[in-house]
Amino acid sequence: MTTIDIWLNEEIGRINPNIYGHFIEHLGGVVYDGIWVGEDSEIPNIKGFRQELIEKLKAINPSVIRWPGGCFAETYNWRDGIGPREKRPTTVNWWYMNDGKLESNQVGTHEFIDFCKLVNAEPYFAVNATTTTVLEARNWIEYCNMMQATTTLAQEREENGSPEPFNVKYWGLGNENWGGGGCMTPEDYCHIYRKYGIISKSVGQDLQFIACGPYEDIPEWTAKFFDKYKEMYTVGRVAPMFGYSLHYYVTNTGRMGTELTYSDAQWYELMRVGLDMEPFIQSQFEMIRAAMPGTSIGLVVDEWGVWHQQNGRHPLPGKYLFEQMSTMREAVLAALSLNIFNNHCDKVVMANVAQLVNCIHSLFLAKGNACVATTSYYVFDMFKIHQHAISLKTEIKCKNISYSIEGNPYDIPSLSCSASLKDGKLAVTLANLSVDDDQEIMLKLNGGQYTSNGRMVVLSSNNHMDGNSFEEPYKVTPVEQTISAGGFELTVTMPKASVVLLTLDVS
Ligand code: AHR
């Protein structure tokens, strides 16, 4: 039997709700057809945004949304997206690829802020640090955040319909600047980052700057960046840093099968790479703390998810760029990733799954009138209870799974778990990584006891390759049941390839 020890008195920290964040980029079908259908559309909408998606997204407490990219941010001119929509310029956007590469700019700063308000999320803006100037970034911040009736830019915002400032707090300074964001060296980028210190003095009210960190396979970026940053920090001439961004995709170029069909070994291989997020977080955090002792820089995993790239980076026929289907495999991967973030909430202050709709590890698929919630959407729904709660220490004793792929043997644990406590309610989320075995799990409580019956929500399907689609939008949805609990121990049975939420009163 699998056992999990949970310590009520051993707190890891408070789970920042921003760990449950999202990412919207002007790429493929994310913005246009995804969230935006236009005010004149026959598709039910609020201020031009797809109503069904708004309602479903709001229901899972989306906390924070990153925009407008990604790579798109590195060629974005924020001025193209303000003012009367009919007068906005049409610009080139390589990230539509097969759709004529044209950007209508119908969704700009004001619309994106409207969207955030509609779903009750904080905006997180990514600044172009590659093809524009620090002054342009300062102007964008001033346009968004200066009080009414102050500067000319604040007045322009008012003329464009928003007298009240947007108070955008989170600003990412660049995106993947080691690659698409300018092919910079860590030293080049640090030099640019330094200049933003001046902005923080001129328009900085509670601004939280996020610096560009590495992709998982370029760890030397962090050491070199912080060597330079430290030098400048010591003399006080560098932008302060709230967060350091990490991108971590589980990239499948064929080794893990296809989106919809995979062998057991290919399922496990995807989980193994997903589990490697944990040492990546730990090692990046240690490097930052070693370089900058006494500072509180947190990790912002602002792009993560499963990315199927069997076709390289080209759109699949009849699909948007990077559009992919998902199954229970993405759901279990999402659950184990969120468990990792909860368990490292003393390090991770934000995470944004890539991307919200019609792209990579989506929570929605949307086309025409249809808006389907994927299996991962339900995982976010089940896990939202962790937001603001205190993450607790847990220890799992479970069976390992052995498999081999391309002739190489591997071992992974069969279970992932995190636990949190809020207002006397214990929430435990579990991912059963095994496609072969249900698991009987005993949850032992240390430092307290279960005081009443609880609730168990299960996301699973008879076939672990099942998922939701336009044809079968509700094939996989969570099922809820009550469970009896009391004393110090509770035993539950968890189906294979499933995600479970347990909520229990404890004292
Ligand atoms: O999410 C798609 C792309 O992946 C983003 O634009 C970029 O930042 C990353 O490489």
Q: Which CATH code of 2.60.40.1180, 3.40.50.1820, 3.90.79.10, 1.20.1730.10 fits the domain covering 392-505?
A: 2.60.40.1180
69 touches ligand 1 (CB under 6 Å): yes
Which pLDDT score, from 0 to 100, does residue 456 have? 98
- Quote the CA–CA distance of 497 and 495 in Å, as a whole number: 6
Give the residue whose CA is nearest to atom 7 of ligand 1. 70
* Nearest atom in ligand 1 to 181's CA: 8
DSSP letters spanning 88-134: PPPEE-GGGGGGTTEE---S-HHHHHHHHHHHT-EEEEEE--SSS-H
Which pLDDT score, from 0 to 100, does residue 470 have? 96
Q: Which two tokens stand for residue 154?
A: 């604040």
- Quote the CA–CA distance of 178 and 185 in Å, as a whole number: 6
* Residue 220 pLDDT exceeds 80: yes
CATH superfamily of 16-387: Glycosidases (3.20.20.80)
Determine which helix (DSSP H) or strand (DSSP E) holds 252, and give its type and residue range. strand 243-252
Residues 374/381, Cβ–Cβ less than 8 Å: no
- What digits encode the pLDDT tens for the residues 325-378? 999 999 999 999 999 999 999 999 999 999 999 999 999 999 999 999 999 999
* Residue 201 pLDDT exceeds 80: no
Return the axis-axis angle of helices 134-145 and 152-159, rounded to nearest 10°.
60
Distance 70 CA to ligand 1 centre (A): 5
Distance 176 CA to ligand 1 centre (A): 8
Distance 71 CA to ligand 1 centre (A): 6
Which pLDDT score, from 0 to 100, does residue 240 have? 82
Residues 229/190, Cβ–Cβ less than 8 Å: yes
The answer to whether domain 16-387 and domain 392-505 are alike in fold is no
Distance 352 CA to ligand 1 centre (A): 12
Q: Considering only CA atoms, which of 169, 128, 127 is closest in space to residue 18?
A: 169
Distance 95 CA to ligand 1 centre (A): 10
Give the residue whose CA is nearest to atom 2 of ligand 1. 70
Which pLDDT score, from 0 to 100, does residue 239 have? 75
- What digits encode the pLDDT tens for the residues 415-443? 999 999 999 999 999 999 999 999 999 99
Strands 408-413 and 45-46: unpaired
* Nearest atom in ligand 1 to 355's CA: 1
Which pLDDT score, from 0 to 100, does residue 177 have? 95
Which pLDDT score, from 0 to 100, does residue 342 have? 98
What average pLDDT does the segment 236-255 reach? Answer: 90
Residues 298/242, Cβ–Cβ less than 8 Å: yes
Q: Which two tokens stand for residue 84?
A: 């009367």
- What digits encode the pLDDT tens for the residues 147-177? 998 999 999 999 999 999 999 999 999 999 9
Task: Tell me if residue 441 falls in helix, strand or coil.
Answer: strand
Which pLDDT score, from 0 to 100, does residue 376 have? 98
Which pLDDT score, from 0 to 100, does residue 96 have? 83
Q: 402: buried, middle or exposed (CB in 10 Å: 19+, 13-18, 0-12)? A: exposed
Q: Mean pLDDT in the chain? A: 95
* Residue 314 pLDDT exceeds 80: no
Which pLDDT score, from 0 to 100, does residue 237 have? 67
Residues 86/139, Cβ–Cβ less than 8 Å: no
Q: What is the DSSP letter of 198?
A: H
Give the residue whose CA is nearest to atom 6 of ligand 1. 70
Catalytic residues: 176, 303
Which pLDDT score, from 0 to 100, does residue 59 have? 98
494 touches ligand 1 (CB under 6 Å): no
Which pLDDT score, from 0 to 100, does residue 317 have? 74
Close Cβ partners of 420 (under 8 Å, ≥ 6 residues apart): 15, 342, 385, 386, 389, 390, 391, 392, 426, 427
354 touches ligand 1 (CB under 6 Å): yes
Ligand 1 pocket test, candidate residues 25, 96, 183, 250, most atoms within 8 A of CB: 25
Cβ neighbours of 455 (radius 10 Å): 15
71 touches ligand 1 (CB under 6 Å): yes
74 touches ligand 1 (CB under 6 Å): no
Q: 473: buried, middle or exposed (CB in 10 Å: 19+, 13-18, 0-12)? A: middle
What average pLDDT does the segment 451-462 reach? Answer: 96
Give the residue whose CA is nearest to atom 8 of ligand 1. 70
Which pLDDT score, from 0 to 100, does residue 94 have? 84
Q: Establish whether the linkage from the previous residue to 486 is cis, with ω within 30° of 0.
A: no
* Nearest atom in ligand 1 to 71's CA: 6
Q: Establish whether the linkage from the previous residue to 355 is cis, with ω within 30° of 0.
A: yes
* Nearest atom in ligand 1 to 69's CA: 6
Q: Which two tokens stand for residue 420?
A: 């949190």
25 touches ligand 1 (CB under 6 Å): yes
**ipTM above 0.95?**
yes
Q: Considering only CA atoms, which of 247, 225, 229, 25 is closest in space to residue 124?
A: 25
Which pLDDT score, from 0 to 100, does residue 99 have? 58
Cβ neighbours of 120 (radius 10 Å): 12
* Residue 206 pLDDT exceeds 90: no
Q: What is the DSSP letter of 472?
A: S
Domain residue ranges in the chain: 16-387, 392-505
- Quote the CA–CA distance of 171 and 47 in Å, as a whole number: 25
